[in-house]
Amino acid sequence: MDTNTNRTPLYNEHINLGARMVAFAGWEMPIQYTGILDEHKCVRENIGLFDVSHMGEVFVYGKDSVNFLQHVVPQNIAKLTTGKAVYCQLTKEDGGIIDDLIIYRLEDKSDLPSFLLIINASRVKEDMEWLEQNNAALALDVVIDNQSANLSLIALQGPKSSELIELIGIKSDEQPEYFSIKQTILESTDVLLSRTGYTGEDGFEILVKNEEAATLWNLLMEKGKELGIKPIGLGARDTLRLEAALHLYGQDMDETTTPVEASLGWSIPKDKKEDYNGKAKILSQFDNKPSKMLVGFKMIDRAIPRHNYEIYINGENAGTVTSGGVSPTLEANIGLGYIDTKYPTKSGAIIEIMIRNKLYKAEISKRPFVPKSHQKAIKK
């Protein structure tokens, strides 16, 4: 392993659990423990624990923090109330996506608005440069504080997640609702507890100081035993998110794709008055269909679509697969990819995937591929 790779505070826990480690985004991470299919099933049926400490955490606060964030993401941050979260993209002037992230509004800091940004491990450097560049240009009264090096993130996902948090002492009606966050204590460890995740299941992402990560991990593994908890690696994290049709930055979108092209138009408000990077381009794409769009598809012929395989329609090269693989839950093979919008992008449209010089049929499909069960976490 490259000596320049970082290790999270949970490295020893992974080794003790028999993890197979792999280098990812400059970090030595567990790709699997008991096996990808076994881990995937455990999250869908019970509960799984993920070390996602490689991700980045940036605090943005101060008098102009709302104005600042309004400028760097299309989403309407002024509408974000304390304790709530929103899925966003950092966009460029040409509408291209720098990263996707979740922005949480925390309790005010010294009576001023305060936010947490959780960003992709592979983009921490780029995001910080971009935020600082924008801050310098806008000259606002805002603090941008990258705490990634001091914080660990543990994700708990699966239908029994809420039950486990209750076993640890936070009753169901005291737990944050879906896409909400609260500061709390899990058996004497201070945490930020967020009802978010990357699997399509109900679950939590728990932010904790590095020094307390191992204590928290072991607490969850211990208390979760009776619920069938297992540690889950990056391999199953990927198969789970693909079933939920959640995008992976760098594969399903990048600086050359706008949110509309990446089929994230649902996250873009049409009535936000404030200007933001790429606003004109992004809004124009609602009126004038972009030339390419991300679609989801399910294989009809027996074959597995994978990243970078070419898509053909009517015998012509029409696009590329961005993510693809097996869906253990559906026992089918699924994928995401961009196609030229001169072709139909509606569910049911037939496309073909070139795999080792042969074409295999697939059908454009509704997303998510597997229905999301986190809806249970929304209080009526």
Partner 1 sequence: MSAPDGTLCTKTHEYVIPEGNNVYRIGITDHAVHQLGDIVFVELPDLDSTFEKGEVFGTVESVKAASELYMPAGGKVIELNETLLKEPELINNDTFGAGWFIKVALNDVADLAEALEYDEYIEDIEE
What is the binding site for partner 1 (CB under 8 A)?
A: 20, 32, 35-38, 235, 239, 302-304, 306, 325-326, 356
Whole-number minimum distance, CB 45 to partner 1, in Å? Answer: 17
Query: Tokens in use for 62?
Result: 């101060």
Q: What type of residue sits at position 365?
A: S
Q: Which of 27-42 are b and which e, b meaning 16 or more Cβ less than 10 Å from the residue's Cβ? A: bbbbbbbbebeebbbb
Whole-number minimum distance, CB 165 to partner 1, in Å? Answer: 29
Sequence-ordered strand ranges (E) for 39-150: 48-51, 56-61, 85-91, 97-109, 112-119, 143-146
Whole-number minimum distance, CB 329 to partner 1, in Å? Answer: 13
Q: What residues form DSSP beta bridges with 104? A: 85, 116
Which three-class secondary structure state does DSSP give residue 378? Answer: coil
Q: What residues form DSSP beta bridges with 262? A: none
Query: Tokens in use for 303?
Result: 């074959």
Residue 37 or 349 with smaller CB distance to partner 1: 37
Whole-number minimum distance, CB 300 to partner 1, in Å? Answer: 15
- DSSP tag of 266: G
Whole-number minimum distance, CB 188 to partner 1, in Å? Answer: 38
DSSP for 39-60, written as a single string: HHHHHHHS-EEEE-TTSEEEEE
Whole-number minimum distance, CB 56 to partner 1, in Å? Answer: 25
Residue 167 or 332 with smaller CB distance to partner 1: 332
- First-residue to last-residue Cα distance in the chain: 49
| Rounded CA separation 285/72 (Å) | 19
Residue 20 or 79 with smaller CB distance to partner 1: 20
Residue 50 or 104 with smaller CB distance to partner 1: 50
Residue 195 near residue 377 (C-beta atoms within 8 A)? yes
Whole-number minimum distance, CB 16 to partner 1, in Å? Answer: 20
Residue 42 or 60 with smaller CB distance to partner 1: 42
Residue 20 or 125 with smaller CB distance to partner 1: 20
Residue 142 or 240 with smaller CB distance to partner 1: 240
